[in-house]
Structure 1
Amino acid sequence: MWQISDAELLDAATAAETRLRQAYAESVHLLSELDNRGVATKIGYSNTPALLMHTLRISRADARHRLAQANDLHPTTTPTGSVIDPVLPQTSQALARGEVGSEHVDVIRKTLADLPHLDTEQRATAEQVMLDRAAEDDPKALTRFATRVRDIVDPDGPPPTDDEPKRPERMLRRHIRRDGTLEFKGHLDLESAQLFENLLKPFEKPHPEGNDTRGYAERAGDAFADVLKMAAHSPDLPTHNGVRTEVAVTITYQELQHALDNAVLTDNTSLTARDARRLACDARIIPAVLGTDSQPLDVAVPAYTTPAHIRRALVLRDRGCSFPACDRPSNVCDSHHVLEWRKGGPTKLKNLALLCQHHHRLIHHSDWQAEMVNGRPQFIPPAYVDPSRTPRRNHIHGPLPRTA
């Protein structure tokens, strides 16, 4: 092959792909005929996929996939002997010419299956529109284009039926598990869905440290939690019976004082003492402290651990999460006591640092250490991150620019 030019090599690869598609079209046509004749049952197999698994040495999933395509691309024969026309005759011809591949066929099948209300003429038009795009687009791009097919072929959509109940534009179903975690599902109208996406996208990016092992779903879940935290910090948050939402944590005095992982309860939900101390850094809590016989020693008046005026100063100073390289904004951050309040750390600006939920948890649960130097927080990495344990600061937010 070294003797042929780059252009000739590319032409040869394109011609080989065309032959491959044509061969696949022939294979699918043969499988359609095998299935219509009932060859599998005639020779003792339960169905055609079981036969293909042995003869073609393919998986059952692959066999079913090819037969599903064959049924849409070619005529099928019912048990009574009647013949049903192919669902996608134009796609069948394009595949036989090698103009589209198996993945293109899947996209076209799914697109038309999602438009069951189209009449025969509209279906033919939609199929041809998809084939025109497939001549230029890869299957992924064709999938994106498929969302526009309905607007092109049938912009008015199906007429609503009088007896069909109207689906709510917004709906949310939620279920609290026994361990206190929440399951939910629902749907939003177009405007709310766009707002939801726009709120989540800035927070679901991987952590800038470069060692983020979370999958997309986990990052989206953390982003949703950040949005909830941002809403909780909003001054316009609605009240319930005149007060903001609050959580009552019940814990023994000894567990609160010492770094123990014993279980505590908040509304009958398990919570570790370590988590309770993290929440106490910046939450509206009602501490109910118990004695040795589980007798209440004190139920305090609810109060913000960090007063509003101090938090405002903290936001002006840190401008966001103060952990190195974190770009999370201040409205999703907690106020962290650098010297823990249980060890006498004051709730003062010189002892506080803004931390997002991810890094707040990291500071409480790992060997990272925080310290205040010249009135600003800095962080000492564990030895397995940096053997020299050189202190680090956040340089993303930076100090506010000076005004003249």
Structure 2
Amino acid sequence: MARSLVLSDDDLHALADGALLDRTAELIRERNRIDAELIRTIRVADARQACEHDGLKTMPSWLRNHARLLAAAAAELVRSGRALEHLPALEAAFAAGDVTAEQVAAVAPIARDEHRVAAAEQDVDLAEIDAALTAIAASQPHQVLGQAVGRYLAMLDQDGPEPDPTEGRRLAITQHTDGSITGRFDLDAVGGEKLRTALESVVQAGRCAGDERTRHQQQADALVQLCDNQLAAGTLPTLRGYKPQVIVKIGVGDLAGPGVGPGAADLGFGATISAARARWIACDGNITRIVMGPDGMPLEYGRSVRLVPPHVRRAAEVRDGWCVFAGCGAPTFWCDVHHLLEWVNGGETNLENSALLCERHHTKVHHGFRVERQPDGRWRTWRPDGSEILIGPRLDAAA
């Protein structure tokens, strides 16, 4: 029997790299064994309805309330326990620490009632499938196991109707008090492939020198950039006769003032942002003047005026060619036209006072960074502390 790892308060920084990796592997193995025993116990408690002892109807509800687990995690533990009753090879490998709880959850669908019935009708030996998938789980990456399970389930239903991929699609968005949003989504394989392909194209095109963003941050920025591109293209469906656009409502004093002005502006979906953020959005947007009366009713409103007319933007695109922030080079259609001297402070909307900046670097320029065009046409970038960002020559310039 493999030895059990003794937990201690030893100084891990004193261990050699190899010893640290060995310890990590041992801990994972021990965790697998504990997870296996936990799921085995849950399975028996579920079968006996032990949760009634505490006045609850189901084991998932007991796990949510007494163990403070998320609903999805609680349900998965119960599903895995029920599945392992029909998968002895996988259960043995789990108990030995050779497979993880995540791998068990990936294999569990083959033990659902409808799939076991289909296997029996087609003379499929579930024990052989159990052994084969257990061997894959113990030796192959998790993705390979998921593919094998998918192929097996597809084989069971070769002549079945093609499912509607849209039935399982879900997108839930929650807006928080500060205006930020979180959410989750579920997509079918084709929908997921489309999303990942679109995001990856933006991620790879937007890589620049000194990029320290995590992969998650890169993908989130790419999603926002996709929205920017679609809104700017003007091809989205109209909403009550108007093209969709980001709406910002702010008092003229806050917009023209130099302060950050927290909570000074309201967005169309109810979020509140600072005056500084509103000025950033207004850099390359439409401005509509509305005079409000003392009772909060509009007294006068003027027509919307595009701050940056098309001919100025086109000239900036031809002159600059890409985002001018040092090391970036994002394409022109990702960029806003930034006023070097803010228009609310008297800056003119002309080519000399304009700079193409992608969303990420436009944000940075509104938070202390600075770009400046030299007489010879080169752009230079400074950090908030006054130091200049220096990079080597552009690779495409040397081609």
Q: TM-score, normalised by structure 2?
A: 0.64
Paired residue for 2:132, among 104, 115, 129? 129
| Partner of residue 200, structure 1 | 199
| 8 A contact 2:165–2:188 mirrored in 1 | no
Instruction: Kindly state the Cα deviation for residue 231 of structure 1 after the two structures are TM-superposed.
Output: 1.1
Letter matched to residue 382 of structure 1? P
Counterparts in 2 of 1:275 and 1:108: CA distance versus 1, 3 Å:
closer
Gaps in structure 1 of 5+ consecutive residues: 1-13, 37-45, 47-59, 74-85
Aligned to 1:313: 315
Q: Distance in 1 between matches of 2:271 and 2:104?
A: 48
Residue equivalent to 1:110? 105
Partner of 1:5: none
Q: Residues 359 and 200 from structure 1, CA distance in 2 versus in 1: closer, same or farther, beyond 3 angstroms?
A: same
Percent identity of the aligned residues? 24
| Pairs aligned (count) | 336
Amino acid at match of 1:275: R
Q: Deviations over 1:149-170 (max 9, x none)?
A: 2313642439879xx9996364
Q: 1:228 to 1:169 in 2, by over 3 A?
A: same
Q: Which residue of 2 aligns with 1:260?
A: 259
Task: Specify the code of the residue in structure 2 equivalent to 1:372.
Answer: R
Offset at residue 174 of structure 1 (A):
4.5
Shift of 1:333: 1.9
Report the counterpart of residue 155 of structure 1 in structure 2: 155
**Gaps (5+ residues) in structure 2?**
1-21, 45-53, 55-67
1:115-141 deviations in Å (ceiling 9; x for gaps): 32322645323222223434643xxx1
1:335 equivalenced with 2:330 (yes/no): no
Give the drift of 1:196.
1.2
* Distance in 2 of aligned mates of 1:294 and 1:209: 49
Give the alignment of 1:189-338 within 5 angstroms.
189-204=188-203, 208-210=208-210, 212=212, 215-262=214-261, 263-267=264-268, 269-288=271-290, 299-338=301-340
Select the structure that is richer in helix: 2
SS in 2 for 1:358: helix
**8 Å CA contact retained: 1:282, 1:305:** yes
Change (3 A) 1:316 1:397: farther
Measured in 1, the distance between the counterparts of 2:197 and 2:395 equals: 21
Larger Rg: 1
Query: How well do the aligned residues superpose, as a CA RMSD in angstroms?
Result: 5.0
Task: Give secondary structure in 1 for the equivalent of 2:288.
Answer: strand
SS at match of 1:347: coil
Measure, in 2, the Cα distance between the counterparts of 1:70 and 1:241. 52
User: Partners of 1:122 and 1:232 in 2: how far apart?
Assistant: 54
Q: Aligned pair in 2 of structure 1 residues 188, 302: CA closer, same or farther (>3 Å)? A: farther
* CA spacing shift, 1:282–1:395, aligned 2, 3 Å: farther
